[in-house]
Amino acid sequence: MANARITRDVFGTLPDGRAVDRVVLHGSNGFEARIITFGAALQALIVPDRAGCCDDVVLGHDNLAGYVDRRQFFGATVGRYANRIAHGRFVLDGETIQLNVNNGPNALHGGPDGFDRKLWQILAIDEGEQPAVTLHYVSPAGEENYPGRLDVRLTYRLTGPTELSLAFEARTDRPTVVNLTNHSFFNLEGLTQLSNILSHELMIAADAFLAIDDTAIPLPGPPRTVDGTPFDFRKPTAIGARIRNDDPQLRDASGYDHNYCLRDGQGVRLAARVVAPRAGRVLELLTDQPGVQFYSGNYLNGGSGGKGQLYRQSDALCLEPQVWPDTPNRPDFPSARLTPDQVYRHHSVYRFSTTGAAATSGAVV
């Protein structure tokens, strides 16, 4: 990749004195992915719009204190199990595992002190044609009460001029469950003049979704069809078009916060496409995972912010590739089990481009 390069600096220092590094992967036309070792997080993602103007398109903070002082998962790597496990409890090989709960009665995103709160180590930097950084974290057996020692590696790599690839690998020394993802909050109009994402047009390559109870745990039974519901994004649709429909699922979640069951397919395939009408930025998410959690920023309430902004409801959206939520308790769902003779792998790609002329329709508010 022409002119690709890597820079590195110290982003800040944790209260115990350990330094947090930032590695910047430089692509073409101003494209940059800025990664910090605290939480293996995507701290900033600089993307050109249709006019060639670059802006940050992910929520986050300009300093380490913002990440340490309040847990909001901005750009973070979440694990050992992304999303929720009902009551923090499951049975594995006849043994009942009781996790630490941190989301009402449930365990969420690895528990109270998940991977997003850990200082990862830089294992390798590749300054070649496709610049990359590989981060490493070892989760000891019993951390958050998960069984087994888990050795995790994550590589952020620029695989195109404006394309960021994430490759996760994990190995264990005894049977456990694993579900890792990135939790970036996207606003493709950019953060310089932050507006809500309700006018963003979204397509999700899924015919079904998981309906949830009032604690966000999937209900019994098979996935529900999206046909005839506000959850149908098989064709590009403004996120705000149906978000206020009087639907029990939207009411309980205060918007969209649901797992979409991606169509069966081998390897990395298109999962979702997002278009920002004003700036013309396009994000295509490709993944090899069986599901993607679509979250419409329902609980951003203006109580905090970063990068010079207060973050309010629907100021960003999340698309989290994953194994489905509560899988350890649902044998009818794709498995999250990992054994010592296996390697957990997850590969997702965030591919950016632009549309042509600016949209003429007004924003959905």
pLDDT at 365 > cutoff 60? no
- Specify if 345 maps to a domain: yes
Q: Count of domains in the chain?
A: 1
What CATH number does the domain containing 166 carry? 2.70.98.10
DSSP summary character for residue 162: T
51 found inside a domain: yes
DSSP β-bridge partners for residue 202: 237, 274
* Strand order across the 132-139 sheet: 121-126, 132-139, 150-160, 163-172, 344-354, 281-287, 269-275, 201-204, 237-238
- Phi/psi-derived region of residue 107, left when phi > 0, alpha when psi is between -120 and 50, beta in every other case: beta
266 CB neighbour count, 10 Å cutoff? 6
**238 belongs to a structural domain:** yes
* Mean pLDDT within 186-206: 97
Please report how many Cα atoms fall inside a 13 Å half-sphere around the Cα of residue 174, on the Cβ side: 11
Sequence-ordered list of residues with C-beta below 8 angstroms from that of 201, at least 6 positions apart, any chain: 236, 237, 238, 239, 274, 275, 277
183 catalytic? Reply is yes
Domain presence at residue 365: no
Q: Find out whether 50 and 276 touch, Cβ atoms under 8 Å.
A: no
Q: Note whether residue 159 is domain-resident.
A: yes
Query: CA distances (Å), 209 to each of 22, 177, 205, 262, 293, in order?
Result: 36, 22, 11, 9, 9
Q: Are strands 337-338 and 318-322 parallel, antiparallel or unpaired?
A: unpaired
> Which of 14-18, 217-221, 248-252, 359-363 is predicted least confidently?
359-363
Predicted pLDDT at 1:
56
- Which residue matches tokens 């992304």? 82
Check whether 361 has a pLDDT greater than 60: no
Tell me, yes or no, whether 85 lies in a domain.
yes
Please report how many Cα atoms fall inside a 13 Å half-sphere around the Cα of residue 303, on the Cβ side.
7
The pLDDT assigned to 164 comes to 98
Which residue shows structure tokens 């999206």? 226
pLDDT on residue 359: 44
The reported pLDDT for the residue numbered 303 is 82
pLDDT at 362 over 50: no
Average pLDDT over residues 250-266: 94
pLDDT in tens, 110-143: 999 999 999 999 999 999 999 999 999 999 999 9
Q: What is the pLDDT of residue 31?
A: 97
What are the pLDDT digits (tens) for 10-68? 999 999 999 999 999 999 999 999 999 999 999 999 999 999 999 999 999 999 999 99
Q: What is the C-alpha separation between 247 and 230, in angstroms, rounded?
A: 8
pLDDT tens digit sequence for 271-328: 999 999 999 999 999 999 999 999 999 999 888 789 999 999 999 999 999 999 999 9
The span from the CA of 211 to the CA of 151, in Å, is 33
* pLDDT attached to residue 99: 98
123 is in which domain, residue-wise?
5-354
Whether 93 is covered by a domain: the verdict is yes
Residue 30: its pLDDT value, please?
A: 96
Q: Please give the backbone phi and psi of residue 108, each rounded to the nearest 5 degrees, phi first.
A: -125, 130
Are 258 and 294 spatial neighbours (Cβ–Cβ below 8 Å)?
yes
Residue 283 is predicted with a pLDDT of: 98
Choose the catalytic residue: 183, 200, 258, 346.
Answer: 183
- What count of other Cβ atoms lies within 10 Å of the Cβ of residue 261? 22
Q: Whose CA is closest to 167, among 352, 27, 343? A: 343
Cβ(173)–Cβ(340) under 8 Å? yes
Of all residues in the chain, the percent with pLDDT exceeding 70 is 96
* Rounded Cα distance, 196 and 121, in Å: 35
362 in a structural domain: no
Q: How far is CA 49 from each of CA 71, 276, 285, rounded to the nearest angstrom?
A: 30, 9, 17
pLDDT (0 to 100) of residue 4? 61
The yes-or-no verdict on residue 3 having pLDDT over 80 is no
Predicted pLDDT at 364: 30
Rounded average pLDDT over 334-341: 98
Q: In the prediction, which pLDDT does 356 show?
A: 79
- In whole angstroms, what is the distance from residue 58 CA to residue 91 CA? 37
Q: What is the pLDDT of residue 130?
A: 95
